[in-house]
């Protein structure tokens, strides 16, 4: 009988072999370190290869005006524009600005919702990065009464 630790070790070995042989999709481990570590919206957008962000009414953001518990703040980002490559959700004053990144194709409707931790009252952004390198955004201030990131 195998214990949990041995099963996990064997599973990781199999995953490593599949990744090395090309049988496991490489994009499953895609991670943009520069975007994740960025401290501003402009830096996150730049990390995804887009130009200077411009405000747009074609991008929508749904978030509460007041979040009583910053540990679980519901947010939704959407756009009806065509040619969207990524849809991002950013929280300006979080330790890591990038909260979520959604890849969009013609087969995927650009309408996503998530929950995020917020350490304090901050501007929240929904950013659509277009195939042509443009970045469009909208923002909303969300007031946090009890921080969720150790704040």
Q: CATH no. for residue 124?
A: 2.60.40.2470
**pTM score:** 0.77
- The total number of structural domains that make up the chain: 2
Q: Residue 151: inside a domain, yes or no?
A: no
Structural domain including 26 reads 1-30
| Per-residue tens of pLDDT for the chain, all 151 residues | 556 666 666 666 656 544 555 554 544 445 788 898 889 999 999 999 999 999 999 999 999 999 988 899 999 999 999 999 999 999 999 988 999 999 998 888 899 999 999 989 999 999 999 999 999 999 999 999 875 565 4
pLDDT given for residue 108 in this prediction: 86
Same domain flag for 10 and 45: no
Same domain flag for 108 and 38: yes
Over the Cα atoms of the chain, what is R_g? 18
Q: Residue 150: inside a domain, yes or no?
A: no
Same domain flag for 20 and 64: no
pLDDT given for residue 46 in this prediction: 94
Neighbour-count burial of 51, counting CB atoms closer than 10 A to its CB (0-12 exposed, 13-18 middle, 19+ buried): middle
pLDDT given for residue 151 in this prediction: 47
């Amino acid at each position: 009988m195998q214990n949990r630790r041995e099963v996990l070790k064997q599973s990781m070995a199999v995953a490593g072999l599949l990744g090395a042989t090309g049988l496991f999709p490489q994009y499953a481990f895609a991670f943009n370190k520069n975007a994740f570590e960025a401290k501003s919206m402009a830096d996150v957008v730049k990390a995804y290869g887009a130009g200077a962000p411009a405000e747009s009414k074609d991008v929508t953001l749904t978030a509460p005006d007041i979040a009583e518990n910053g540990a679980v703040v519901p947010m939704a980002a959407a756009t009806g524009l065509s040619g969207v490559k990524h849809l991002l959700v950013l929280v300006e004053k979080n330790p890591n600005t990038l909260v979520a990144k959604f890849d969009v194709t013609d087969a995927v409707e650009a309408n996503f919702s998530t929950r995020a931790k917020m350490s304090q009252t901050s501007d929240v952004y929904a950013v659509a990065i277009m195939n042509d390198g443009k970045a469009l955004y909208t923002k909303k201030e969300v007031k946090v009464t009890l921080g969720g990131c150790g704040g």
